[in-house]
């Protein structure tokens, strides 16, 4: 009886390389898929060509076939268009979440199935476990690398067709396995930046697609301090790139973005990392995507509002229309509409949703 076929998303990095190695050694018929989904002649930032050569070298070392596919059209339509639309609305989207749902575990998984694969596999750091409710998503054993936050929007039926061999491993062990196996990417730095686009000067990149709309930078009291380049180019809690420096009559403390007034095209800033106007006591979300049986009543859990954030105790209140309200035990800093609130019970990810609105921990009058 022949081994079951699995297609591994080979990115050219060490994580996906070791995922393929582990599956091959476990007896699977492994083939690789390299996705190039951002097609621009911009070698300074787009590393796709170099990554493909690394993926080829890994496939050759492992003795597996390597396919190459471009889902650039799907990425533009399903991920990047949303990314720009959210920025135009003055929000701060997280494209990695949509990239996982729509591309890696969407069109790429479908493509793998057309090639006869029983499963699609990736180098993500997360764990999948079977239970009474189907396939559950759990945090990785390495808390510093856990990527369940970025995977919360993937459909449960797609997770059921997926393998994530690195979920039980520490990153150091992954690199050591790659080194022992002679994989040429064992010491390659981790990729950073926007999914498939890479790390590049963000404001300059965004300005290629969005018009600059300058406006006033103000204090909550209405004092004008400077001029911003356009609300889409800033995010709540941001410190750098404001061009303010010291100001007469104000203490020598850094300035932070506290709010965006879209009606007046004004950027509201405050001084001090822990200024009260940077804190939110609660938030509301768009429709919640459940990876467990949908909850109907309020319940206690932990919630993250950004990647790498420690679990925050909260009360999650599902609403009849599918949205939710999250009330935190302690105020949270720089909660940002457009980002995602993701809920956990212990190690299990329950799902999440886009943050729509925030409830300030204090009013502007009280903070003045």
CA distances from 187 to 19, 174, 194, 254, 260 (A): 15, 10, 21, 37, 42
Strand (E) or helix (H) holding 353: strand 348-360
The full DSSP string for 181-236 is TT-TTTTPPPP-SBTTTBS--HHHHHHTTS----EEEE-TT--EEEEES-GGG--T
CA distances (Å), origin 315, targets 26, 152, 284, 326, 339 = 42, 19, 12, 6, 19
Helix (H) or strand (E) holding 119: strand 119-121
Determine the Cα–Cα distance for residues 281 and 279; give it in Å rounded to an integer: 7
> Measuring CA to CA, how many Å separate 104 from each of 86, 142, 278?
21, 22, 34
Q: How many Cα neighbours within 13 Å face the side chain of 111?
A: 22
Give the Cα separation of 144 and 133 in Å (integer). 28
DSSP 133: T
The catalytic site residues sit at: 99, 195
Helix (H, G, I), strand (E, B) or coil at 100: helix
Which CB contacts under 8 angstroms, 24+ apart, belong to 39-48?
Answer: 39/70, 39/72, 42/200, 44/200, 45/193, 45/197, 45/198, 45/199, 45/200, 46/197, 46/198, 47/191, 47/198, 48/196
Coil, helix or strand at residue 103: helix
Distance CA 342, CA 323 (A): 13
């Amino acid at each position: 009886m022949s081994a079951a076929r699995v297609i591994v998303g080979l990115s050219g990095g060490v994580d996906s390389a070791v995922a393929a190695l582990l599956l091959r050694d476990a007896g699977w018929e492994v083939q690789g898929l390299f996705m190039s989904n951002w097609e621009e002649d911009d070698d300074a930032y787009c590393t796709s060509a170099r990554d493909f050569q690394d993926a080829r070298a890994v496939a050759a070392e492992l003795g597996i076939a390597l396919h190459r596919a471009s889902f650039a059209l799907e990425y533009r339509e399903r991920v990047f268009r949303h990314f720009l639309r959210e920025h135009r609305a003055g929000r701060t989207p997280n494209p990695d979440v949509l990239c996982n749902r729509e591309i890696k575990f969407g069109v790429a998984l479908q493509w793998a199935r057309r090639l006869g694969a029983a499963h699609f596999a990736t180098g993500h750091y997360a764990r999948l476990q079977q239970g009474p409710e189907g396939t559950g998503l759990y945090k990785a054993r390495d808390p510093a690398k856990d990527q369940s936050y970025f995977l919360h929007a993937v459909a449960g039926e797609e997770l059921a067709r997926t393998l994530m061999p690195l979920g039980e491993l520490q990153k150091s062990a992954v690199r050591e396995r790659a080194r022992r196996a002679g994989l040429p990417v064992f010491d390659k730095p981790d990729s950073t930046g926007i999914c498939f686009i890479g790390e590049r000067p963000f404001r300059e990149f965004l300005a290629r697609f969005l018009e600059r709309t300058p406006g006033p930078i103000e204090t909550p009291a209405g004092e004008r301090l400077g001029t911003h380049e356009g609300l889409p180019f800033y995010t709540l809690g941001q410190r750098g790139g404001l061009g303010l420096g010291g100001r007469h009559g104000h203490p020598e403390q850094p300035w932070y973005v506290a709010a965006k007034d879209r009606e007046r095209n004004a950027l509201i800033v405050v001084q001090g990392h822990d200024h009260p106007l940077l804190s939110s006591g609660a938030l509301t979300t768009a429709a919640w995507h459940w990876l467990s049986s949908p909850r109907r009543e309020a319940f206690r859990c932990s919630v993250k509002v950004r990647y790498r954030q420690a679990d925050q105790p909260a009360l999650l209140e599902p609403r009849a229309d599918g949205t939710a309200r999250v009330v935190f035990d302690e105020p949270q800093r720089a909660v940002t509409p457009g980002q995602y609130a993701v809920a956990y019970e212990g190690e299990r990810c329950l799902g999440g949703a886009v943050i729509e609105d925030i409830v300030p921990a204090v009013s502007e009058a009280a903070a003045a």
